[in-house]
Structure 1
Amino acid sequence: MFRRCSRILTVMLYLILTASIYSSFKALFGLSVTVRINSMKDHERIDVETQTTPFVLILCNDGNYLRFPEIAMTKFEIQLRQAKTLIKSAVKLSKSSIRFIILGNDDTVLLALKTFVSEWPPLLRSRLTLSYRPVFIPEGWHLMDLYEKCVTEKLFLPWVLPEFDAVVYMDTDHVFMRPPEHLTQHFKYFDEKQVLGVAPVDGFYLQFNTENYKN
């Protein structure tokens, strides 16, 4: 089980906010992490079905129904609209079938996304698979809603998606500018020593006043 979980390879590149993962694990588990940048061609390739690698989104309803006056939408509605745009950009640019797994605390999000997709041309709809799973919250974990609802769920992808050898996690406020296959093909360059791929987002978290991870 541990070996399978450890093989959940999460390519985040510029699509993920790296600082929260690094800071959380360093503080919670006392890890001393050394970051080494290696060229992809230095590693042996492994057999990963990149065309069936699912993309994972986290969509949680924070229960706040106050609408932003500028756009007359709640935070959850904004995130849902972002997810629709992200998925549409992926399917539009993809040359093969693509799968999205939605992790959340409100299963109505799947119906909303399917209703949105139902208006697409049949050719585009046929390439997309959507599914929903409830978020996984470990017993005793108190940082699930650190500064946004369910924000730390991304730390537990190996537990909530144990049957997958590789997944790509994405924040909803992104869009694809190139085919998604360009992202999943990075798994081909992972070896048995690699677990995830990340890229820094320097200075982003300085704007948040969050609680100390050690408390």
Structure 2
Amino acid sequence: LNSGVMLMNLTRIREVNMIDDILKIYNIYEKNITWGDQCLLNIYFNQYPERLLEFTCEWNYRPDHCMYENNCPTTEIMGIKLLHGCRGAFHNEKYQEFKAIYRAIDEWNFESNLKSTILHKIKLYLSEHSTTNCGKISSMFTKHIAKEISAKNRKNDINDHGTCSATNECTKPTLNNVSSIQNSPHLALVICGDRDEEVLVLLKSIFLFTKYSSTNIYLHLITDEQAKKNMIKKLSEVPLLMRQMFIVKYYDIIYPSYVDREQWINLFRYCGTQRIFLPDNLPELDHILYFDTDTLLLQSLDRFWSLFNNFNQTHIVGLVKENEVLQLSWYPLYSKHPFVWPTVY
């Protein structure tokens, strides 16, 4: 399982005391953990498979899925819906196709004609790497983008910069009445250090490819102090229409008193384990989407949110497999603890 993208039924997680079980698992397998809380989730759902909804890999497409050949078969029909630039794929020279899409979205300056700007740039940048294994399937990267852009109507509003605050206090409804807004998407991001630029590009991708309506997106940002300052500044500088899409609330990085904060905050990646404790940190919420900051959404967020409709009565978390091919999956080859096996052998 890859924990960079998660659907979390927070109420059920609390009911089954998943966090307590995760802590017990850590005490047993501490010396065998390689990928932090991702390994802990693999062990947990190996023990409780009935609590896991496995959703398909087009919703968490990573370099591993195409570095040799495309091993996410659903993308051939569905296209790639969320791009996960793990291992620095958006910023290094090894995964140029991922970097190309990130670059195009980052460079987009809120011009009105989305199709001739962002879509053209993505196709242009991808064409520069058409001979690589990932580049050979470039049509899967763009399959939904034109359709999502065409569904939006921003021609008259895109250059309205307005004066709303970065926390969108000028927009309604607010987070003070969360019990009445659970049908609206709620997204949690954990931001530590210098991830603010990456987060802004992620939010631009959500803005670009999510159909604008009266439904807001409730954005829960769990940050350290510097990241909070950076995000407030950056969000204050984007156009009003983008800020109006998000209702933002900030939270401090907090670990429960019953765990060793220094141990957990530094497990694998600094403050990455904060996502495990979202049920405690967001007690007012029933459901949450969690994205790593190195992700880009290529389809409307409300469609991702609708995946909660696939939960049965026992599911508490939705995750994508680390890989669909046994020979390419890290866990069967190297893991020293239980894990959730790939589907395709």
Normalising by the smaller structure, the TM-score range is: 0.5 to 0.7
Classify 1:25/1:150 alpha carbon distance in 2 versus 1 (closer, same or farther; 3 Å): same
Mapping of residues 61-210 of structure 1, within 5 Å: 76-77=193-194, 79-94=195-210, 95=212, 96-106=215-225, 108-138=226-256, 139-141=258-260, 142-202=263-323
Classify 1:125/1:105 alpha carbon distance in 2 versus 1 (closer, same or farther; 3 Å): closer
Larger radius of gyration: 2
Confirm or deny: 8 A CA contact 1:5 1:162 kept in the other structure: no
3-state secondary structure, aligned to 2:295? coil
Considering Cα pairs closer than 8 Å and 6+ residues apart, tell me whether 1 or 2 has the greater RCO.
1
Q: Which digits, 9 at most, give the CA deviation of each residue in 1:43-63, with x for residues without a partner?
A: xxxxx9665231111112xxx
CA distance in structure 2 between the partners assigned to 1:173 and 1:194 by the alignment:
26
3-state secondary structure, aligned to 2:47? coil
TM-score, reference length from structure 1:
0.65
CA distance in structure 1 between the partners assigned to 2:235 and 2:181 by the alignment:
25
3-state secondary structure, aligned to 1:103? strand
Asked whether 1:53 is paired with 2:175, we answer no
Confirm or deny: 8 A CA contact 1:100 1:129 kept in the other structure: yes
Using the TM superposition, give the Cα deviation of residue 30 of structure 1 relative to its aligned residue in structure 2, in angstroms: 11
3-state secondary structure, aligned to 1:136? coil
Q: Which runs of 5+ in 2 are unaligned?
A: 1-9, 17-34, 56-179, 338-345
Confirm or deny: 8 A CA contact 2:36 2:268 kept in the other structure: no
Confirm or deny: 8 A CA contact 1:54 1:168 kept in the other structure: yes
Confirm or deny: 8 A CA contact 2:13 2:316 kept in the other structure: no
Classify 1:2/1:200 alpha carbon distance in 2 versus 1 (closer, same or farther; 3 Å): closer
- Please, which of 4, 14, 23 is the counterpart of residue 5 of structure 1? 14
The residue type equivalent to 2:189 in the other structure is L
TM-score, reference length from structure 2:
0.43
Classify 1:204/1:112 alpha carbon distance in 2 versus 1 (closer, same or farther; 3 Å): farther
Asked whether 1:24 is paired with 2:40, we answer yes
Residue 66 of structure 1 corresponds to none
3-state secondary structure, aligned to 2:40? helix
Q: Which digits, 9 at most, give the CA deviation of each residue in 1:108-139, with x for residues without a partner?
A: 42332232222333222212122210123122
The residue type equivalent to 1:113 in the other structure is M
Q: Which digits, 9 at most, give the CA deviation of each residue in 1:63-122, with x for residues without a partner?
A: xxxxxxxxxxxxx32x2211111112112222242121111232x423322322223332
CA distance in structure 1 between the partners assigned to 2:219 and 2:234 by the alignment:
14
Classify 1:191/1:114 alpha carbon distance in 2 versus 1 (closer, same or farther; 3 Å): same
Confirm or deny: 8 A CA contact 2:188 2:289 kept in the other structure: yes
3-state secondary structure, aligned to 1:193? coil
Confirm or deny: 8 A CA contact 1:91 1:98 kept in the other structure: no
Confirm or deny: 8 A CA contact 1:102 1:130 kept in the other structure: yes
3-state secondary structure, aligned to 1:126? helix
Confirm or deny: 8 A CA contact 1:4 1:162 kept in the other structure: no
Classify 1:131/1:30 alpha carbon distance in 2 versus 1 (closer, same or farther; 3 Å): closer
User: How many positions carry a matched residue from both structures?
Assistant: 174
